[in-house]
Amino acid sequence: MQAKDLNRFKKKLLEKQSELIDVVHKTENYGREADAEGEAMDIADKASSSYTKEFMFSKSNSDRQLLQMVAEALGRINEGSYGACLHCEEPVERKRLEAVPWARLCIKCQEMEEKKLL
């Protein structure tokens, strides 16, 4: 991959990374505030609040996973292996990288992974 393309993907990844860090921090703060409020709530309120918390928690987990994938993609840029499928080592489709710059697998391998064939 050409350096100017690499730089463009790197920029995209860095933007996504700071966006995600922001979201993950906000979600953590929200969890702490909800805990403090919980003291004064009656049972019905508590139930809906724990539902919300669970939702926020699973959301922050997927944000965290995404953050991890973005960090790994940045690492691959530094190592010079960015853009290659981690499974078959073929280049990941350019269109796919444009849409998902942190993609680890090419479309073929991704489909296989989704079918649990890898």
SS3 2: coil
Contact letters for Zn ion, residues 72-101 (x by CB under 5 A): -------------x-xx-------------
**67 vs 103, beta carbon nearer Zn ion:** 103
Hey, CA dihedral for 39, 40, 44, 49, is it positive or negative?
negative
Residue 91 phi/psi, 5° resolution? -60, 135
Instruction: Determine the interface stretch with Zn ion among 11-19, 45-53, 94-102, 104-112 (rule: CB under 5 A).
Output: 104-112
Smallest gap, in angstroms, from Cβ of residue 42 to Zn ion? 54
42 DSSP assignment: -
